[in-house]
Amino acid sequence: MERLGRFGVVVVGGGGAGLCAAIEAAAGGASVLVIEKRPVLGGMLHIANGEISGAGTRRQAARGIEDDPRAHWQDVMRLSHGKADPELSWETVSRQGGTVDWLEGLGFDFHPDTPALVHGHEVYAAPRTYWGVEQGRSMLRVLERELRRWVRDGAVRLVTGARVTGALVEDGRVVGVTASREGEGDFSAHGGAVVLATGGYDANRELRNRFLPPGCEDALIGCLDHATGDGLALAAELGADVTGNGTFLPVMGLIPDPARPGFAVDYREAFVEVAPAYRTPHEIWVNRAGQRFVAEDVTSPELRERALTGQAGLAMHIVWDDAVARVADPLLRNGAGDWTRERMAAELRRGRWIVAAPTLAELAARLGVDAAGLTATVERYNSAVAAGHDAEHGRTTLPMPIQTPPFYGMTSVGASILSRDGLRVGTDLAVRNREGGTIPGLYAVGEVLGNDVFAGDNYVGGMSVGPALTLGRMLGTRLAAQAREAADPEGTERPPTREEAT
């Protein structure tokens, strides 16, 4: 087995959290090794919206927005129904505004609409959500550029295409890792600290379903296929404790991928726009019984997500007609915003995800929906349109009936795009064992912590990427300080870090 040597900090995972931990550890003077399983860096930033929330930022001040971390934290606790970890949430929220400013200093290409109120999750009390012109890829671009600067300087060694296989433990302390590179053999590396920034487990269906509540096993996988829970498994072998609320809310609007059963179509290509703030709904949503289950124009994301949780297979079938197809804004959307009416019309003809039929009964058969139930539901909906009142679900947007053939339909299935459960840590991000103590030398940051610690049983805007980057930075800074102290406990004749020197 090849030995790579000894480093101040070993970071396992090169997504947003791992990149930030490595950058700040190197900036603090530590020698850093980054091990990434994929051949490229970035993790979920390749496909994520890349939204980060932060209060008290320069961009807010420039727009006259009054906000502060305390108000942000109060919103997090409100939106999480008090179930987010209050201390760990404060650790990140109190610093996330600084991370936004830091990204700006790195040349991050902010979308001009930011900071903004975002309606994909329950809305904050103030505009404090930011994203890039190219969503997560904008964020990855500046983080990778900064990391590679430290690689060129010799402070960081980067190994990609390598999967960590185990931990090195001496006298109860984690002192390094073993890893394997396909076609190149195994290697080991020692570190003063080991950071697990390995992401989530949602692409590992067996592991994911152990954490999901009963009845949610059919959730689509909406993440990249590298998210298999490697860090969770490694830490569990060392006695790590796992935390989470045992809850699940499906992300709505994702489309089953015919080429990859169980996975969603990449939402960079297409998803169904379900938020009425962004598109007026003209369709109805039905379950397998052909029954509507929620007002399609409900403004609360949480209410519609919880309504979907009660439907068989987490499936909703979207139904409309030719008249709607001619006047409605495109039902499908992506981050690039290039779903025009012309492209939508072409997709109707293409028939990849959308089916058409001359009658509702035939459409129901093609969708796998009860025909009598769907026919009766459409009749009641059309009566509600004529009356201008939806007595069943309280929908107020009733633009036109569904009665002109051909009829169209498509299926969307609730998805899991991030892991809700994860490793238990304290505010120092040291991994806790099942007895409540720490596992010396082992730290964790990013999605491996699970999103419940920052969102409770809900989704909270910018509180996945935000904590990953912010706590990654915080941890890298602290571990660099520990490495300096270990190397020079008296604090004498320490060479300046790059930031100090400049």
Q: In Å, how far from its chain's centre is CA 252?
A: 13
Q: Residue 67: beta bridge partners? A: none
Nearest in space to 20 (alpha carbons), one of 103, 94, 87, 93: 103
Distance between CA 355 and CA 364 in Å, rounded? 10
Kindly state the tokens that stand for 327.
């006047």
Does the structure show a pLDDT above 50 at 134? yes
- Of the pLDDT bands very low, low, confident and very high (cuts 50, 70, 90), residue 490 is low
Any residues with CB less than 8 A from the CB of 156 and at least 6 apart, and which?
22, 26, 32, 33, 34, 147, 150
pLDDT at 183: 82
Q: State mean pLDDT over 56-84.
A: 98
* CA angle in degrees (0–180, nearest 5) for 319-324-328: 110
397 alpha-carbon distance from chain centroid: 30
Read out DSSP for 15-31? SHHHHHHHHHHHHTT--
Residue 335's pLDDT band (boundaries 50, 70, 90)?
confident
CATH architecture label of 271-413: Alpha-Beta Complex (3.90)
* 234-289 pLDDT per residue, tens: 999 999 999 877 789 999 999 999 999 999 999 889 999 999 999 999 999 999 99
Please write the tens of the pLDDT for every residue from 391-437.
Answer: 999 999 999 999 999 999 999 999 999 999 999 999 999 999 999 99
Boundaries of CATH 3.50.50.60 in the chain?
28-243+417-501
In eight-state DSSP terms, residue 65 is: -
What pLDDT is attached to residue 493?
A: 44
* Length of the chain measured in residues: 502
Radius of gyration over every alpha carbon of the chain, rounded to an integer in angstroms? 24
pLDDT tens-place string over residues 104-116: 999 999 999 999 9
Give the model's pLDDT for residue 244: 78
The pLDDT tens digits for 376-402 are 999 999 999 999 999 999 999 999 999
CATH number of 28-243+417-501: 3.50.50.60
Q: Dump pLDDT digits (tens) for 193-228.
A: 999 999 999 999 999 999 999 889 999 999 998 999
* Residue range(s) occupied by CATH 3.90.700.10 in the chain: 271-413
28 and 17 in contact (C-beta within 8 Å)? no
CB neighbourhood size of 344 (10 A): 18
* Residue located via tokens 């990434």: 36
CA distance 138 to 49: 10
**Across the chain, what does the average pLDDT equal?**
95
Helix orientation angle between 69-79 and 86-105, rounded to the nearest 10 degrees:
130
> CA 259, CA 352: separation in Å to the nearest integer?
11
Task: Give the Cα separation of 175 and 189 in Å (integer).
Answer: 9
pLDDT of 480: 98
CA atoms within 13 A on the CB side of 183: 2
The answer to whether the beta carbons of residues 90 and 75 sit under 8 Å apart is: no
Q: Is the dihedral of CA 55, 58, 61, 62 positive or negative?
A: negative
Residue 317 to residue 283: CA distance in whole angstroms: 10
Is residue 250 within 8 Å of residue 415, measured between CB atoms? Answer: yes
> In the 3-class helix/strand/coil scheme, how is 390-426 assigned residue by residue?
CCCCCCCCCCCCCCCCCEEEEEEECEECCCCCEECEC
pLDDT-derived band at 321 (thresholds 50, 70, 90) equals very high
Q: What is the pTM of this model?
A: 0.93
Is it the case that residue 475 has pLDDT exceeding 80? yes
Span 142-150, mean pLDDT? Answer: 98
* Amino acid 498: pLDDT: 44
Structure token pair of residue 321: 């007609």
pLDDT at 495: 43
Alpha-helical segments (H) within 251-310 = 301-309
From CA 217, how far away is CA 212, in angstroms rounded? 7
Residue 191 has pLDDT above 50, yes or no: yes
For the cut 70, the answer to whether the pLDDT of residue 309 exceeds it is yes
Task: Give the confidence band of 487 by pLDDT, cuts at 50, 70, 90.
Answer: confident
- Parallel/antiparallel/unpaired status of strands 2-12 and 162-170: unpaired
